[in-house]
Chains A and B, each alone.
Chain A
Amino acid sequence: MRRSARPSLKRVLIANRGEIALRIIRACRDAEIESVAVYSDADRTARHVRAADHARHIGPAPATESYLVGDRIVEAALSCGADAIHPGYGFLSERADFAASCEAAGLVFIGPSPETLARLGDKLAARRAAVSAEVPIVPGTFEPLRTDSPKAMAEVAAEAERIGWPLLVKAAAGGGGRGMRRVDHPAELAAAIAAATREAAAAFGDGAVYLERFVEGGRHVEVQLLGDDHGTVVALGERDCSVQRRHQKLVEEAPAPGLSTEQRRMVHTLAVRIAATVGLRNAATAEFLLTPNGDFYFLEVNARLQVEHGVTELVTGLDLVREQLAIAAGSPLSPPVLAAAASAAEPTHHAIEVRISAEHPLTDFAPAPGKITRWREPGGPGIRIDAGVEEGTVVTPEYDPLLAKLLVVAPDREAALARLRRALREFEVGGIQTTLPFHHWLVDQTDFVVGRLRTDLVALTWDPEPLWRAAAGRAAEAVAQLAAHEAHEAQASGSTRMELTRGQETGSTRAWQEAARQEAVDRWS
């Protein structure tokens, strides 16, 4: 057997917060590796801080002064004797310069090499890599558009005609739908390019944009990849993430419904081919567009753990974070990983994840920060919750609004959907508005129930106003009846029972929260 290139990890610093930090800490604990949390002023008493073996304060609440300051995180890792850094997703996870500074400091960066990150961060470079790997891509351009002269603009317009309408203007450094514009008519092209360039420059510090054909009715299908230091890369099945709004995923599931075994094998093979071309190590995801004709077009590689990695874990039985830790320590892919890869095209379970975010579904998913006054998670068979919050947590506007992920698993999709409906009924959140109403609505939509998925499903069918109004009517009725009932009982017993209950409830909650907060502060400050 081949010897490990590095001794196994002893202490891992998690350069993240919220649910993903807690998720990684749990894998560390299962693997008997010590974990180090980092936290900003706003997260002093957060769950991830209390769960870790050690914790380091890294700055004030704004992410640009804490979680995004690579030097401070490397310094924290060195000062507490960590031998590796797990970046999670978001923040510094795909920054080649951060991966390089970890390595320069003698720390293992749990992820792809800085060279791979640099190459994949540029979508145009990724498109060129796909072409060299003979993987089909969405028809479009390969170099940043030049619009600085009438002649250059005329060339762009001719290129657009060749690609066909409608098309997309996309940012080379893009993500999350920023720096992206749909163009339906030639007359709109110049303005769309200018707007996308401005947005991309503001969001990513790089205004380069390119053109891509817009595929009507497409699905978002992505493949989970794991690669080791020894050149082996495998696919661990695919996920469908078509339920999105403005390119932000809301629901993900594995496997992608309705694909044949051949189609699954095909997209897994394409993903592995791209990963091998760019020398991928550790965990990554290759994203594809599945057209209504059944063709797969490569979109991009996300060279990190994805938010939705859990559905793949529930279907394969693997702990992907634990596998990441083993790979980072130099181990070859484990026998369970190889076995899961061998049967990835014939899954025997179905898993669905819904994202619970602090957003208001009525007002176009506007941020809805505040204090969580009630948090009751569902339980029972086939349910998994990855949450970064709890009752009493104050959700601040500083960070991503994702609070928790609700995952369900069952032998088939129909059974998984039934579990999801049950879990949603059990999930109680109060104090702040979340995306739960969207999920309550979705699980009864025919297209979703039968697996007829497409990325514009939400845009075409989601109309929250009537749902909100109907629910508001029921809420008012419930309160009026409860108040009538309580007034009647108070009168009947001649007591002020209602007043007492109210006083006790608010009083004890405060006392409990104070005690918990004080304990957390004593422990970490």
Chain B
Amino acid sequence: MVLSKPARLRATVEGPDPVVVEVDGIVPSASDRADSHPSSHVRPLPDTVASRAVGQRRYEAVVDGWVFQVSVGSADRARLQERVSRSAKEAGLQVHITIRAQIPGRVVRLWVKTGDTVEAGQRLLAVDAMKMENEVRAPRAGVVGALPVGIGQTVELGDDLVILE
């Protein structure tokens, strides 16, 4: 049986400053695989709407106790998507960004209201979790387009907090 050459894969550790690794479709033997390191383990995660849309699989990988969400897919397709989003930016398309809850907790402070103009780094609101107040700041300058939360409201991980136009 003849196998076609496997595609080059790109794995991206999710986060504000993603770590990207690409491997060629050369399949390593089980003992050479990085996940055979005794203090690391890898598990598949359920697909999300977003990951399915871009043809990626999601895994959780734990290395020396650090827990990572890693997306993996075709490197060629990822490069194509990068080019598309770069040209959209160059064309001057302004998009809004959604700031989501990084931890579940209770909204205890609101420093802004809908329509406010904010600077990059400005405090928007605070979420109380595990006896600590966690400030949420604006990642860039903009206008508060929507504020779907109120003081005292419980938020879950990933809930929308602020839409910044």
Residues of A within 8 A of B (CB): 358, 362, 366-370, 373-374, 396-401, 424-441, 467-469, 471-485, 487-488, 491-492, 501-502, 505-506
List the B side residues contacting A480 at CB < 8 Å.
9-11, 21-23, 72
> B35-53 vs A: 1/0 string, CB under 8 Å?
1011111111010000000
Pairs A-B, 5 closest by C-beta atoms: A436-B65, A397-B129, A367-B130, A476-B21, A475-B61
Measured in the bound complex, the distance between the Cα atoms of B58 and A444 in whole Å is 32
Interchain CB contact under 8 A, A430 and B65? no
Closest Cβ–Cβ distance, residue B61 to chain A (whole Å): 4
Measured in the bound complex, the distance between the Cα atoms of B131 and A498 in whole Å is 42
Interface residues of B in 88-111 (CB under 8 A from A): 103-106
Interchain CB contact under 8 A, B44 and A431? no
Residues of B within 8 A of A (CB): 1, 3-4, 6, 9-13, 15, 19-23, 25-28, 30, 33-35, 37-44, 46, 57, 59-68, 70, 72, 103-106, 128-132, 134, 157
Measured in the bound complex, the distance between the Cα atoms of B157 and A370 in whole Å is 8
List the B side residues contacting A373 at CB < 8 Å.
43, 60
Main secondary structure of the interface of A (DSSP, over half): helix
Interchain CB contact under 8 A, B59 and A479? yes
Main secondary structure of the interface of B (DSSP, over half): strand
Measured in the bound complex, the distance between the Cα atoms of B132 and A400 in whole Å is 10
Contact partner of B63 (CB less than 8 A), chosen from A427, A471, A492, is A471
Closest Cβ–Cβ distance, residue B157 to chain A (whole Å): 6
Closest Cβ–Cβ distance, residue B147 to chain A (whole Å): 21
Contact partner of B19 (CB less than 8 A), chosen from A362, A370, A441, A472, is A472
Measured in the bound complex, the distance between the Cα atoms of B51 and A502 in whole Å is 15
Closest Cβ–Cβ distance, residue A107 to chain B (whole Å): 28
Measured in the bound complex, the distance between the Cα atoms of B27 and A491 in whole Å is 12
Measured in the bound complex, the distance between the Cα atoms of B61 and A90 in whole Å is 34
List the A side residues contacting B62 at CB < 8 Å.
374, 428-430, 475
Interchain CB contact under 8 A, A472 and B66? yes
Interchain CB contact under 8 A, A483 and B65? no
Interchain CB contact under 8 A, A477 and B23? yes
Contact partner of B11 (CB less than 8 A), chosen from A396, A426, A483, is A483
List the A side residues contacting B9 at CB < 8 Å.
480, 483-484, 487
Interchain CB contact under 8 A, B59 and A482? yes
List the A side residues contacting B66 at CB < 8 Å.
362, 433, 437, 467-468, 471-472, 475
A-B contact pairs, 10 of them (CB 8 A): A471-B64, A475-B13, A475-B66, A475-B70, A479-B42, A479-B70, A479-B72, A480-B9, A485-B28, A488-B3
Measured in the bound complex, the distance between the Cα atoms of B6 and A397 in whole Å is 44
Residue of B nearest to A61 (CB): B154
List the A side residues contacting B37 at CB < 8 Å.
474, 478
Measured in the bound complex, the distance between the Cα atoms of B152 and A17 in whole Å is 25
Measured in the bound complex, the distance between the Cα atoms of B63 and A249 in whole Å is 24
Interchain CB contact under 8 A, A369 and B103? yes
Measured in the bound complex, the distance between the Cα atoms of B44 and A401 in whole Å is 26
List the A side residues contacting B21 at CB < 8 Å.
473, 476-477, 480
